[in-house]
Amino acid sequence: MVRIAIFASGGGSNAEKIIQYFEHHPTIQIALVISNNKNAGVLGIADRYKVPSQVIHRKDMYESDHLLTLLKNYKIDLLVLAGFLWLIPAYLISAYTNKIINIHPSLLPKYGGKGMYGHHVHEAVKADQSAISGMTVHLVNEKYDEGGIIFQKECKLNQDMNATEIAAEVLKLEHKYFSAVIENYITTHINRLK
């Protein structure tokens, strides 16, 4: 089994899709959900699907080995960031090199980097009157949104769409493709992961 921990800070609609997709998977299991926000919707989703979950505090992530110990205890092989807002620290990237995947709601490198998350991304796309947007799945390194790109998918926008409508269009793509991209990454890089 390849065991995944999903990291999420918010509602967790992507997390829910991923949990559903792998619920009866023969070789891949969602073993843990981690959130930095005790009020995050994703924690209720984890409960509903009987996936263990943990809330972490800043010091667990940046000033102690609590998080690493937790991931070891749960025998986690791969980290999937689905709307997780904290920067992943260097020690975690060393421990999980090429084993941390993030989803970003734009066609990186456009509309990425610090501060570019959630509605900020879609408002910037709108301000540019961009004709397209889309989603990117990428590996995580020490800089926000700069790791190697695994997958991108674009959607066409029309000029009268507002930022909320753009976000909804991009989220549809995320829900449709993210889980299969994770599965494909695992099956094609299985040796590195185990």
For residue 13, state whether it binds ligand GRF (rule: CB under 6 A). Answer: yes
Cβ-contact 6, 34 below 8 angstroms: yes
- Which stretches of 49-139 are DSSP H helices? 58-62, 66-73, 90-95, 118-127
Q: Give the per-residue contact string, 45-84, with ligand GRF (x = CB under 6 A; - = no).
A: -------------------------------------xx-
Binding mask 160-189 for ligand GRF (x = CB under 6 A): -----------x--x---------------
Instruction: Kindly determine how many residues on this chain lie close enough to bind ligand GRF according to the rule CB under 6 A.
Output: 15
CB 100 within 8 A of CB 58: no
**DSSP H or E segment with residue 6:** strand 2-7
Contact predicate 116/144, CB 8 Å: yes
Residues 6+ apart with CB under 8 A from 145: 102, 104, 108, 109, 112, 113, 116, 136, 138
Q: How many CB atoms lie within 10 A of CB 23?
A: 12
User: What are the structure tokens assigned to 108, written together?
Assistant: 């990186």
Identify residues 78-117 at the interface with ligand GRF (CB under 6 A).
82-83, 103-105
Position 147 contacts ligand GRF (CB under 6 A): no
Using the rule CB under 6 A, which residue among 6, 7, 12, 133 binds ligand GRF? 12
Q: Is 8 in the site for ligand GRF (CB under 6 A)?
A: yes
Active-site positions?
Answer: 104
Site string for ligand GRF, 17-46 (x = CB under 6 A): ------------------------------
Residue nearer to ligand GRF on the CB measure, 18 or 28: 18
Positions touching ligand GRF (CB under 6 A) are 8, 10-15, 82-83, 103-105, 118, 171, 174
